[in-house]
Amino acid sequence: MSLVGKFSTVGSATLASRVLGFVRESMIAAMLGNGPVADAFYAAFRFPNLFRRLFAEGAFNSAFVPLFAKELEGGGRDAARRFAEQVLSVLLFILTALTALAMIFMPFLVDTIIASSFEAGSEKFQATVLYGRIMFPYLAAMSLVAMLSGVLNSFRRYFLAALAPVLLNLVLISALALGLFAQLPPADVGLYLSWSVVFSGLLQFALLLYGMHREGFGLSLRLPSFTPSVRRLLWLALPAAITGGITQINLLVGQNIASAQAGAISIINYADRINQLPLGVIGIAIGVVLLPELSRSLKAGDFEDAAHLQNRSLEFGLGLTLPAAIGFALLPEALVALVFERGAFTRETTLVTAEVLRAFAIGLPAFTLISIFRPGFYAREDMRTPMWFAAANAVTNIVGSLVLFPLVGVAGIAIATSLAGWVNAVLLAVTLWRRELFRPSAVTLRRLAMIALANLAMAALLVAANRYMGEAMLDAAFLVRAGTVLAVIAAAALVYFAIVIATGAVERDRLLALVSRKAKTSGPR
């Protein structure tokens, strides 16, 4: 399968999850708005998500995959299985202890880390503690999912691992539908959602077990043992986990600062939900596929193929992310109103959420670039350089949030997050260039210039549409608004793709195979 085919496989599954995520968030917005239950649920859910990224996905996607690939190439499936079983046992031991401690000390965590501005003893504070205790075991389930996903990705089986998050949204949508049908009060809706998160984790684990069974690669539990291979993994995983979870750390910091303003946590989450659609479909898909592919090429000493993979990923990522960022920056009010504005979600909330989305859009290309550049370090088992750059990211985000939040409100937190993303992306790119690990080819630079030109033309169309059709996109009846917004998006996409094809930024016969590995033998580098 070509590289773009692998991107498409992961991206299509992620797209399904993101679309269902819109349905989920739209239902939550209609039922809870930006009220205290929504704030409590999102605050509590952010915490296990943070540790999932730090200890599960971050560590395994970055450190486990290259080491597992080395075991697989050097010792075969049996050696790889032994290594995976050793790692799984130690991981479970660590995360079980962490989960127990977090559940015991949840009131302290809410008061100091999660939402320090929630008044201790208030209903919102107590609800956050309760929801946090219910949902934190989700971390253990998702750690198993991340472990199995890393194994399957190393075997180039990407689809089931990418499909697993769909189950989270399906279960939460079912819980919301049940709450709507039974006309449950908001507090009970929050409980239904919290228990549904845990149940979805078990379903995702079962799905990945099925994938392992189909691959014929079963794992058994062992007594935890810190073997040399496990110690090597932990040595690499610590900085990788910190680096991989930096976005979640930034969002947690922003959430803590935003907790001083009623409803701000929910607003950040609603805006981030829209922003995450292209980031998940494009940026995360590239990151998931590029790391194992790049690791294989470097282990084989095929540096020409490694450069080809990174060039095509850069073209693919920016070619699809930049148009999305421009759309979010120019049409945020229409998009937020279409997706969320109903029930408890008012026009006032729409306008504030739109400003936050516009600020997040500034950083969208940066986070895609991070997904493209970071595997260049991880595939070489250099986990510490990205960690230091992630630290610079975190400092920028914290300082920016503290400065901007009092000045411009909740949008200031999104601005700080975007600026921090650009700091990280630039540091990664410059270091790769200076170390001569990756330099975009002349062909890639020309294609990126043509992509920028196409985006300028598309932006002009969106500005005109907003000027002459803004009222229809924002204030007309729902079907009229939906039809108008979709028509504008379709026209913008038509202009964009017509220009990139006409200028050669994307060759017509390679539109569906932009980053095909086969192209390396015939196409320019």
Share of the chain above pLDDT 90, in %: 24
Does the structure show a pLDDT above 70 at 59? Answer: no
Does the structure show a pLDDT above 90 at 489? Answer: yes
- Among 51-60, 95-104, 277-286, the range scoring the smallest mean pLDDT is 51-60
Give the H/E segment covering residue 356.
Answer: helix 347-378
Average pLDDT over residues 124-134: 90
Give the model's pLDDT for residue 519.
Answer: 41
| Identity of the amino acid at 347 | R
CA angle 384, 313, 485 (to 5 degrees): 115
Residues 410 and 108: their CA atoms lie apart, in Å, by 25
Give the model's pLDDT for residue 520.
Answer: 42
Predicted model pTM: 0.68
Does the structure show a pLDDT above 70 at 141? Answer: yes
Tell the residue number behind the tokens 């929504």, with chain if given: 38
Give the model's pLDDT for residue 254.
Answer: 74
Cβ atoms within 10 Å, residue 232 = 14
pLDDT band at residue 248 under the 50/70/90 scheme: low
Tell the residue number behind the tokens 């200076």, with chain if given: 434
Note the pLDDT tens digit of each residue in 372-415.
Answer: 888 888 778 787 888 888 888 888 988 998 999 889 888 899 99
Does the structure show a pLDDT above 80 at 358? Answer: yes
Residues 468 and 462: their CA atoms lie apart, in Å, by 10
Give the H/E segment covering residue 181.
Answer: helix 159-182
Virtual torsion, Cα 87, 93, 96, 99, nearest 10 deg: -80
Average pLDDT, the chain: 82
pLDDT band at residue 235 under the 50/70/90 scheme: confident
Domain ranges of the chain: 3-521
Average pLDDT over residues 232-252: 69
Q: Which of 138-152, 253-267, 419-433 has the highest mean pLDDT?
A: 419-433
Measured CA to CA in angstroms, residue 28 lies from 23, 37, 124, 342 at distances of 9, 10, 17, 11
Between 170 and 79, the higher pLDDT residue: 170
Give the model's pLDDT for residue 131.
Answer: 92
pLDDT band at residue 247 under the 50/70/90 scheme: low
Residues 90 and 97: their CA atoms lie apart, in Å, by 11
Average pLDDT over residues 275-282: 75
Does the structure show a pLDDT above 70 at 490? Answer: yes
- Among 51-65, 158-172, 179-193, 443-457, the range scoring the smallest mean pLDDT is 51-65
pLDDT band at residue 174 under the 50/70/90 scheme: very high
Note the pLDDT tens digit of each residue in 14-47.
Answer: 677 777 877 888 888 888 877 888 888 888 887 7
Give the CB-side neighbour count of residue 312, counting CA atoms within 13 A.
Answer: 32
Note the pLDDT tens digit of each residue in 293-313.
Answer: 777 677 777 788 778 888 888
